[in-house]
Structure 1
Amino acid sequence: MIRILGTGMAGFGAAYRLRQEGFEDEITMYDKNSYFGGHTASFETDDGFIFDDGPHISFTDDERLQKLLAENIDHEYETLKATVNNYWRGHWIKHPAQCNLHGLPSDLIVKVIEDFIEAKHKTNGNIKNYKEWLYAKFGKKFAETFPMVYGKKYHTVEAENMDIDWLGPRLYQPELEEVLKGALEPSTPDVHYVDKFRYPTNHGFVHYLEKFKQLADIKLDHKVTSIEAQKRLIHFDNGKTVEYDEVISSIPLPEMITKIIEDVPNDVLEAGEKLACTSCIMVNIGIDNNDFTEAVWSYFYDTDIIFTRLSFPHLMSPNNVPPGCGSIQAEIYFSDKYRPVDRKLEDCVEPVIADLKRCGLIKEEDKILHKSTLFTKYANVIFDLDRQEALKIVHGYLDDIGIRYCGRYGDWGYQWTDQAFKSGEEAAQGMLDLAKY
């Protein structure tokens, strides 16, 4: 009896690997929601708009996963160029901003370049946090004007209280020649870490998971309330209880440690409470105009603009909107640890619309056809300075009691679609490896 908790990319990654080894009759998947997909979910409105649970794209270079996901949707997908831009004080800046300074105030450009050159010739020693890393890579002026401000909006925490484990290729590090050319010339080469990506033509991003539903017996509306690890029992809020031989979970670690698993030691509880993440209010807007941006997503640095990032679902697939229409999804970030939610979902709609007009993305003559909100308690893991040690304690405890974990919220990392799926496969493989001995 193998129980998989969660029906997102990671959960289905685990089910897929287990099915390859002939465990199809032993797998049951559970989800607290009335729909499958976890954070891969998509929602179709009565008026014909489709919005995902936050922006999702597939840009894996893993040919095996490319093929698998393509086959899942009968090869019906859009291939799109990742056109990305930034908004700062009335300026639209090609992404990444560090090598696209052309058109910004000259005094800012001069100071950014001065600091960039100085940083390149500095000995930085042991870099201890994200702030020090930004100073070392880009110089003080650029760091404090752009990534530190955006980072606070997105992660809700100051740069000096973040580590740098999450960075990977996310912040491009240009050479001086690129910075100079980007300051002098209006057109620059594309250097974003995402070049092209795929998105299902129909039914939103969750459609990638549709055929995976046959991998296991799926039980919806099953929220886990407690796990008795010694007795190998899982209890649900609908009154049902099941036994398990193995359990693989993508449930967020703080939920598992502080609310679900019984008799957790105090040091592990304390560690679980230190794991921080952002929550996100998403405001979805549909309008009768589809020609207002070329970007598939945009970053916003101004602290007086309510949203941190925008994505435009109508550009990912024309079937995400009624004919001739456009759509916008705005993200607003909070966190229990650093910036608690301070408003109701519905109170965000009109401020978002006002700032969309202020940025020129919605005009007064545009007709707003749709307004709705989504909320996710667990959006992005916060890589603060508490994370590494706390995570080591939590994962060690779960290993000891035989609960396997996967996905963004089980691994407690910064995972893209393919990484989440592979994380599920790896959790299943760990179970299979142990069974051999």
Structure 2
Amino acid sequence: MEEVPFVVLGAGMAGLGASYALDSAGVSFSCYDKNNYVGGHSRTLRYDNGFIFDEGGHISFTKNPHVQQVLAENVRGAFVENRLTIDNYWQGLRLPHPIQNNLRHLPPELIVQIISDYKTLDACGTASGNGAPAHQTYADWLHLAYGPTFAKTFPMAYGKKYHTTDMDNLTTDWIGPRMYRPTIQELVRSALPGTAPIPNYIDHFRYPSTGGFLSYLEPFESQFRIQLNKRLTQLDPVAKAIEFADGETISYGSVISSIPLPELISLMKGVPGDVLAASQRLAFSTVWLVNLGVGRADFSDAMVTYFYDEDVIFSRINLPHLFSSKNAPVGCGTIQAEIYFSEKYKPFASSPQNLIERTIEDLRRCGFLRADDRILLADAAMSRYANVIYDFDRMAALRVVHGYLRDAEVRCCGRFGNWDHAWTDQAFVSGEEAARAALGD
């Protein structure tokens, strides 16, 4: 049985961050992944006809200079840097993003009601900032932050499509800088014609010039000792042994895991029943990505569009050819639609082909596709773990699971190891932090 001083489970952003830190420390380690590619949820789908899609709209908007440098070096400086353009689709209107900073594009009667709600909140001193108490629901937070009219019309409608459940079921400890609350002066000014919009919190981004987002990560495959097609079947924390589906067994000194917690706990030997039950209460969404390659590229000036209408099947689309022109053949464009489900709240009850057909139908109805557009590629790809759902089971269940793993000396990292809402750069840094903890730094 091979002995490996440091083992990293998962070769996504977090696992590669851990590998980077271990490699920098000059220690012996191995990284294992069940897939036949590195990158995990940051993978890229490269189709034979020249269309390129990532697993979701991955771009690098990190301001962390260390992560910026690592990614830039991996593509030898061959990246594009651009301003992210976002808009919203609501009842036939295309609205600048974020909507609360651009009210002038809404119907007059809706503007009046939104401002009236807002004024009442401020006058009563009930307006809430990002420091909402942990017991408050996300629905409560939205009502207190924006008033009932705006909350119900926009973030609550979108949130149900994205999180797959009502906002009364969600906590508020994931919000951070994601939801901007303008002042009453900013709100009124945004309703006046000719005023400059307040920009979104994400402004500029970087993206590899060629090959999709995965190009940032592929050099690690040859730089580190990464073994692919290695599916974990058992982790024994007492014997400090790991078994893989191909029959290989290794022993380890320290282990760092970015495997989703429900999967990891189910594969650990001797897990107490309460820990197993807690892991099964951790809710997450699953996304189906409908990837379309089209014989033209002028669908929209916006790289990302959010959809609030309940009768539109997808919650968001992104146009990868606007991230980099190399993501599509010359003269062609790309559309990727995101459709969310969850085992706990909204089980998948369709078929990939139905999702493709419905997506094309809705894109035509919303004016993104024309009836005579040539669809050169139509594919649906599923990612079982898309986002952590911050419901009221999460905190207590996570405390039990992480407590057990801490006692078992299994260090976790990444979005589904830490079970949080980490972006790609944050996931990479969390892997580095887990590795430094394993090294005793």
TM-score of the two chains, using structure 2 as the length reference: 0.95
| Deviating more after overlay: 178-187 vs 406-415 | 178-187
Is 1:184 aligned to 2:203, yes or no? no
Render the CA deviation track for 1:302-338: whole Å, top value 9, x for unaligned. Answer: 1110001101000000110001110000000001111
CA distance in 2, matches of 1:356, 1:17: 44
Q: What does residue 363 of structure 1 align with? A: 370
The Cα shift of 1:116 comes to 1.2
Q: Which 5+ residue runs of structure 1 have no aligned equivalent?
A: none
Is the 2:278–2:397 Cα contact (8 Å) retained in structure 1? yes
Q: What does residue 13 of structure 2 align with? A: 9
Matched residues, percent identical? Answer: 46
Q: What does residue 220 of structure 2 align with? A: 212
CA distance in 2, matches of 1:29, 1:358: 46
Q: What does residue 77 of structure 1 align with? A: 79
Q: What does residue 150 of structure 1 align with? A: 158
Is 1:354 aligned to 2:361, yes or no? yes
Q: What does residue 49 of structure 1 align with? A: 51
Q: What does residue 24 of structure 2 align with? A: 20
* 2:91 counterpart letter in structure 1: R
| Deviating more after overlay: 57-66 vs 235-244 | 235-244
The Cα shift of 1:343 comes to 1.1
Q: Which runs of 4+ in 1 moved over 6 A?
A: none
CA distance in 2, matches of 1:396, 1:214: 35
Q: What does residue 406 of structure 2 align with? A: 399
Q: Of the candidates 352, 355, 374, which is equivalent to residue 381 of structure 2?
A: 374
Q: What does residue 255 of structure 1 align with? A: 263
Render the CA deviation track for 1:179-234: whole Å, top value 9, x for unaligned. Answer: 11222225533421111000000110001012222342211111112111111111
Is the 2:237–2:269 Cα contact (8 Å) retained in structure 1? yes
TM-score of the two chains, using structure 1 as the length reference: 0.96
Q: What does residue 415 of structure 2 align with? A: 408
Look up the SS of the partner of 1:189 in the other structure. Answer: coil
Render the CA deviation track for 1:137-172: whole Å, top value 9, x for unaligned. Answer: 100100011001100100012111111111111111
Q: What does residue 286 of structure 1 align with? A: 293
CA distance in 1, matches of 2:209, 2:158: 31
Q: Of the candidates 317, 320, 323, which is equivalent to residue 313 of structure 1?
A: 320
Question: How many residue pairs get matched?
Answer: 431
Is the 1:120–1:136 Cα contact (8 Å) retained in structure 2? no
Is 1:277 aligned to 2:277, yes or no? no
Q: Which 5+ residue runs of structure 2 have no aligned equivalent?
A: none
Look up the SS of the partner of 2:411 in the other structure. Answer: strand
* 2:35 counterpart letter in structure 1: N
Taking a change above 3 Å as real, the CA distance of residues 111 and 39 of structure 1, as seen in their structure-2 partners, is same
* 2:333 counterpart letter in structure 1: G
Q: Superposition pairs for residues 231-250 of structure 1, below 5 Å?
A: 231-250=239-258
Is the 1:289–1:325 Cα contact (8 Å) retained in structure 2? yes
Q: Superposition pairs for residues 58-73 of structure 1, below 5 Å?
A: 58-73=60-75
Look up the SS of the partner of 2:377 in the other structure. Answer: strand
Look up the SS of the partner of 1:409 in the other structure. Answer: coil
* 2:425 counterpart letter in structure 1: D
Look up the SS of the partner of 1:185 in the other structure. Answer: coil
| RMSD (CA atoms) | 1.3
Render the CA deviation track for 1:116-142: whole Å, top value 9, x for unaligned. Answer: 111223344975111111111100100
* 2:399 counterpart letter in structure 1: K
Is 1:304 aligned to 2:319, yes or no? no
Q: What does residue 302 of structure 2 align with? A: 295
Look up the SS of the partner of 2:387 in the other structure. Answer: coil
